[in-house]
């Protein structure tokens, strides 16, 4: 009889933590892929319409006052929107990471619709807005929505949020491995079989939906950047790569500190209940857009124009290519700082990449003057882009994978590793955090003040056939910000565990974390250490 009940328990565990998760991940991929693909198509048209609008104003200076009046009005509307729905402040990446780790909660349908509308509006008004960050948040909302509709546990909601975010990012970039790596390196900052499985299934389904939809609508489904071609890196190319990566890394460190300074400054602006602070980034972006279309939108067209296979960079007012590159890099650098500091509801993934790529192209102009072979320029541009991204986001593996998935080229791994490594090491030396991680910390800090979160200690027994039974502690999705401080085996002596400690049925664990309520912690832990259906 006991064996019979044990078999039923194993079947329930397999259903709960295996088949059900796969089915939910399929639904998450379908939902995320559909909404994110529609969102990116809308932003594509919005960006191109915006470029035409600014070109019209540029050719008819009498419309300039009307443009800036419209931008000021739009800034107030967007600022009011973000005040009513705080979870769309910023790129959406910190909020999604917080939700995946259990640090933040939000109403998925409200945030999804709000971020969709607000970020599209920013793109249409000519801001240097990327669609990848919002795509990630929209995907995360889709995952949370699927889990919520089926009334799944908090742990499963976290898994589906991460899976949806990975699927959304993969669909936006057309980069499946990048989406998978993001789930481990950024969302959870750890690896587990459940995170990988859920994310892999969702990414696969999401990309399938994306490619089918884009093909049906007449859009390309290929690689993101197609104008770059790579030959073997010459010996001196490694020196130029190292120099370019070092310059990009130092610029990334400057970005981090200026962003924090800007954030503190904007927090002191309370005009129109804080909505007035958005006027500054809007007007600055409008002025930059009138100077060059390359300073508008996410930056795909700008990056494409830097490749040797493109028609070339369109200079500004007939000035030199080097001067044009310097102006665009400065414009994008300032715009990204203002966006993060103010909390603009649009993505900075590609705007950051565009800044790094522009810097790489500018440095290559100088390097070629010193005798560098022109054939090395394409690869140095891409590596500089990745090094800058690695310094600002502090995600070296994601940055390295981006190089290959964006271009479809897998040659010259060593120089790419060199550039990304330098970017990450410089960030370590200057003790900078990921810009997304820092924004998340500030959000959690503000949230803890509002909720009165304090340190909690909970002790529960690990039940047979539960999620935690038979798993190493590091493979379990515990409540965020906490840890198992003690394990008391059945009939044994208590000890302090490490990540490799495997939990067994009958073990009593003591868990400590900062939370607003002890009941919330117990409820979450019950989903982990109790058997499915409480049996």
Sequence-distant (≥ 6) Cβ neighbours of residue 182 within 8 angstroms: 136, 165, 166, 169, 395, 398
pLDDT at 531: 78
Residues 189 and 249 in one domain: no
* Position 226 in a domain: no
Is the confidence at residue 6, as pLDDT, over 60?
Answer: no
Residues 107 and 153 in one domain: yes
Average pLDDT, the chain: 87
Is the confidence at residue 201, as pLDDT, over 90?
Answer: yes
pLDDT at 17: 57
Residues 241 and 212 in one domain: no
pLDDT in tens, 69-104: 999 999 999 999 999 998 998 888 888 888 887 778
Residues 245 and 377 in one domain: yes
pLDDT at 533: 64
Task: Supply the DSSP string of 445-462, one letter for each residue.
Answer: HHHHHHHT-EEEEEEEEP
Give dist(CA 520, CA 512) in Å, integer.
13
Residues 6 and 134 in one domain: yes
Average pLDDT over residues 186-190: 66
H or E element that contains 510: strand 508-515
**Which of 94, 88, 87 is CA-nearest to residue 394?**
94
Which three-class secondary structure state does DSSP give residue 150? coil
Residues 114 and 211 in one domain: yes
Average pLDDT over residues 32-43: 95
* Position 379 in a domain: yes
Residues 371 and 459 in one domain: no
Last residue within a domain, chosen from 216, 246, 263: 216
Average pLDDT over residues 520-525: 81
CB-based contact 316:324 (threshold 8 Å): yes
The larger pLDDT score, comparing residue 373 to residue 115, is at: 115
Specify burial of residue 197 (Cβ count, 10 A radius: 0-12, 13-18, 19+).
middle
Sequence-distant (≥ 6) Cβ neighbours of residue 314 within 8 angstroms: 294, 305, 324
Expressed as residue numbers, the domain containing 432 is 235-441
* Position 148 in a domain: yes
* Position 100 in a domain: yes
The CATH number given to whatever domain includes residue 478 is 3.30.70.1450
Residues 391 and 490 in one domain: no
* Position 202 in a domain: yes
pLDDT at 412: 67
Sequence-distant (≥ 6) Cβ neighbours of residue 262 within 8 angstroms: 337, 338, 340, 341, 342
Residues 348 and 314 in one domain: yes
Give dist(CA 356, CA 341) in Å, integer.
19
pLDDT at 329: 97
Residues 331 and 469 in one domain: no
The residue count of the chain comes to 535
Residues 375 and 464 in one domain: no
The model's confidence at residue 4, banded by pLDDT at 50, 70 and 90, is very low
* Position 225 in a domain: no
Q: Which range has highest mean pLDDT (320-334, 441-455, 463-477)?
A: 320-334
The model's confidence at residue 453, banded by pLDDT at 50, 70 and 90, is low
Phi-psi label, residue 273: left if phi above 0, alpha if psi -120 to 50, beta otherwise? left
The CATH number given to whatever domain includes residue 299 is 1.10.3080.10
* Position 432 in a domain: yes
The pTM for the full model equals: 0.88
Last residue within a domain, chosen from 441, 473, 502: 441
Domains: count for the chain: 3
pLDDT at 189: 67
Of 135-139, 168-172, 234-238, 444-448, the range with the lowest mean pLDDT is: 444-448
Give dist(CA 132, CA 350) in Å, integer.
7
């Amino acid at each position: 009889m006991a064996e019979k009940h044990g078999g039923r328990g194993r079947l329930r565990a397999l259903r709960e933590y295996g088949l059900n998760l796969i089915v939910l991940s399929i639904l998450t991929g379908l939902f995320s892929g559909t909404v994110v693909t529609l969102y990116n198509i809308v932003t594509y048209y919005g960006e191109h319409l915006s470029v035409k609008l600014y070109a019209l104003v540029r050719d008819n200076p009498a419309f300039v006052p009307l443009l800036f009046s419209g931008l000021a009005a739009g800034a107030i509307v967007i600022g009011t929107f973000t005040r009513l729905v705080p979870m769309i402040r910023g790129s959406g990446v910190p909020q999604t990471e917080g939700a995946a780790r259990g640090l933040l909660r939000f109403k998925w349908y409200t945030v999804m619709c709000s971020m969709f509308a607000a970020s599209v509006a920013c793109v249409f008004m000519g801001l240097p807005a990327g669609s990848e960050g919002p795509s990630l948040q929209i995907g995360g909302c889709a995952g949370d929505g699927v889990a919520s509709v089926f009334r799944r546990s908090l742990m499963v909601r976290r898994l589906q949020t991460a899976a949806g975010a990975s699927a959304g990012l993969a669909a936006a970039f057309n980069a499946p491995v990048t989406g998978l790596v993001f789930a481990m390196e950024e969302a959870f900052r750890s690896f587990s079989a459940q995170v990988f499985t859920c994310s892999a299934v969702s990414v696969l389904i999401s990309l399938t939906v994306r490619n089918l939809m884009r093909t049906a609508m007449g859009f390309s489904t290929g690689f993101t950047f197609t104008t770059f071609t790579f030959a073997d890196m010459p010996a001196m190319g490694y020196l130029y790569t190292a120099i370019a990566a070092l310059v990009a890394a130092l610029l990334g460190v400057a970005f981090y500190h200026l962003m924090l300074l800007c954030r503190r400054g904007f927090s002191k602006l309370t005009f129109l209940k804080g909505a007035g602070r958005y006027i500054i980034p809007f007007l600055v972006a409008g002025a930059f857009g009138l100077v060059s279309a390359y300073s508008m939108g996410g930056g795909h067209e700008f990056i494409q124009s830097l490749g040797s296979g493109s028609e070339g960079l369109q200079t500004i007012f007939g000035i030199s290519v080097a001067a044009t590159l310097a102006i665009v890099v400065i414009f994008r650098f300032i715009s990204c700082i203002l966006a993060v500091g103010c909390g603009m509801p649009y993505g900075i993934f590609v705007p950051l990449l565009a800044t790094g790529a522009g810097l790489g192209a500018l440095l290559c102009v100088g390097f070629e003057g010193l005798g560098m072979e022109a054939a090395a320029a394409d690869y140095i541009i891409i590596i500089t882009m990745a090094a800058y991204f690695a310094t600002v986001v502090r995600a070296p593996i994601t940055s390295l994978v981006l190089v290959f998935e964006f271009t479809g080229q897998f040659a010259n791994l060593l120089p790419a590793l060199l550039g990304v490594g330098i970017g990450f090491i410089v960030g370590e030396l200057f003790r900078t955090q990921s810009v997304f991680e820092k924004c998340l910390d500030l959000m959690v800090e503000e949230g803890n003040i509002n909720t009165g979160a304090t340190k909690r200690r909970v002790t529960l027994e690990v039940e047979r056939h539960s999620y935690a039974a038979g798993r190493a502690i590091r493979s379990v999705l515990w409540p965020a910000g906490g840890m198992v401080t003690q394990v008391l085996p059945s009939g044994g002596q208590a000890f302090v565990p490490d990540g490799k400690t495997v939990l067994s049925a009958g073990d009593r664990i003591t868990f400590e974390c900062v939370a607003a309520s002890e009941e919330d912690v117990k409820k979450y832990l019950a989903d982990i250490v109790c058997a499915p259906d409480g049996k």
